[in-house]
Amino acid sequence: MKPAFTFNEIREAEKTIIERDGVPSLLLMENAGKNSFELIFPKISDYEVYILTGKGNNAGDGFVIARHIAINSIEANIVFVSEPAELKGDALENFDILKKLESELINFISFDEFKKSVKKSSKLLIIDAILGSGVSGKLIGNFESAINLVNKLKSINKKLRIVSVDVPSGLMSGEQVNPIINADYTITMGAVKTEMLYGEGKDNCGEISVVPIGISDDLIEKYNSYNKYIAEFDDVKKLYPRRRKSSYKYSNGKALIIGGSAGLSGAVIMSSLSALKSGAGAVLAAFPKSISSHFSKKLYEVIKTELDETADGSIAKDSYDAVKKRIDKADAVLIGPGLSLNPETKSFLFDVIKNCRKNLIIDADGLTLLAEDTTVLLRRNSESEIILTPHIGEFSRLSGIDSNEIALNRFETVIEFSSKYKVNIVMKSETTFSCLTNGKIFINPTGNELLASAGSGDVLSGILVSLLAQTGDVYRAVVCGNYLHGILADLYAEKHGNKQSASQQDLIKLIPKAISEILS
């Protein structure tokens, strides 16, 4: 696991490391610039290179990159978005070093000269070293103009590529009020910054790479008191369950899925199928009688329980006794896909929540009904684990917090809710993360916008209940489950060359291939 930080957290950690541990800041800047250059170098060939610099440490990174470009016999143009006289500290020192090279390969030009001279049809590489992560308030003058100009150039010049150093200039913590460089690549320093994974950051960072800056993983981990981590392939490979040769069907996890209603049979079917494909030894499903024929046609392998139903075809309120035997036999339970919002079914849901002694996942309609009275979570008769799987809208209903506020403070709000109700949360969004009851956050790096479609959550919940049944461990289930779900979208995009045409059935069919990649 790699630690992840917000902009404010990483600045605080680096400041402490410099002051308390005596790591020279100039050395960190040199490492950041040199390692960034080594990533950029293969992309430079045949490009006209412009490095846009501001006045802070981000500009210093740009000067180091420029020096290494010149050392490797490549021409580069330094564009001053602010005046050189405004430079100070490590940035000024690296600027002075760059000037002392007196290299004919380094050209210094003003922003006004850049605006006049840059050719809109040339094969350009713009290295964005204008602003780092410390932006606050509204940008004015050349800073705003430079960002807008670069984005305009990108829109009209298909030969232009943009590499942002540390973060795309303009990206900020909190409410976004500025334009942002729309980068093709972002090279960030030391650790992933979480603002890059959501909202405007997700839209503008392009492909993200992390370069070391001379701080060891062990040292930076000492300052990860915020307990946020990025899951990596090797982590998932170690955590993913593998069947023993001596195993049998019921030792490989029994997953029970409860849901469905008239007109909403597809959700519980998709969850059941994804649970089967994800390796559960047995999948059980409990659903209202009226959708039984759909299961008989689609899923021969599922052990089925038909439940009494309401007048509109959802599970009747007095159905708990009928499903209790199935719950007792299961290793993990999922409730919610296609459940409906019927008030009688809500009564049944609350009976399950209060009395289920097995690890329980609540998803979809189950979350909407739960939002009507979250205190039921505190009236449970068991200490078994609960996982909630909301998207931001569902979490807003659960927590009573406005969706915009959640988007701005997603980690804090989720940690607070998790602690209050003693539940684990898988927060589904453009970058899914999980919060365990111990307050640790695990951010999932896989997946793409293919997952932003109806039914995606049903596939994920089926994967999660399957892995929870197999492992009995919430940590392993959510880290591996989210990672696997994301790989499905990545595999589809790789094969078909787009990130928008897949159905959920297409993704379910890719589960065996994704698991093979993890287990290989």
Mind listing the pLDDT tens digit for each residue in 408-452?
A: 999 999 999 999 999 999 999 999 999 999 999 999 999 999 999
The pLDDT assigned to 80 comes to 97
The pLDDT assigned to 234 comes to 97
The pLDDT assigned to 328 comes to 95
Res 20 pLDDT > 90: no
Secondary structure of residue 80 in the 3-state scheme: strand
With vertex at residue 413, the alpha carbon angle to CA 412 and CA 414, rounded to the nearest 5 degrees, is: 95
Q: Which CATH class is domain 235-519?
A: alpha beta
pLDDT digit string (tens) for 130-170?
999 888 889 988 999 999 999 999 999 999 999 999 999 99
Burial of 294 (0-12, 13-18, 19+ CB in 10 A): middle
pTM of the model: 0.93
The CATH number of 2-222, from 3.40.50.10260, 3.30.70.2740, 3.40.50.2300, 1.10.520.20, is 3.40.50.10260
Q: Is the dihedral of CA 19, 24, 30, 35 positive or negative?
A: negative
pLDDT digit string (tens) for 338-358?
999 999 999 999 999 999 999
Domain range summary for the chain, segments of one domain joined by +: 2-222, 235-519
The pLDDT assigned to 134 comes to 85
Distance of alpha carbon 12 from alpha carbon 10, whole angstroms: 5
Distance of alpha carbon 147 from alpha carbon 150, whole angstroms: 5
Distance of alpha carbon 210 from alpha carbon 445, whole angstroms: 13
Q: Are strands 441-443 and 433-435 parallel, antiparallel or unpaired?
A: antiparallel
User: Phi first, then psi: what are they for 227, rounded to 5°?
Assistant: 60, 45
pLDDT tier at 223, thresholds 50, 70, 90 = confident
Specify the amino acid at residue 257.
I
pLDDT tier at 29, thresholds 50, 70, 90 = very high
The pLDDT assigned to 117 comes to 84
pLDDT, average across residues 479-507 = 96
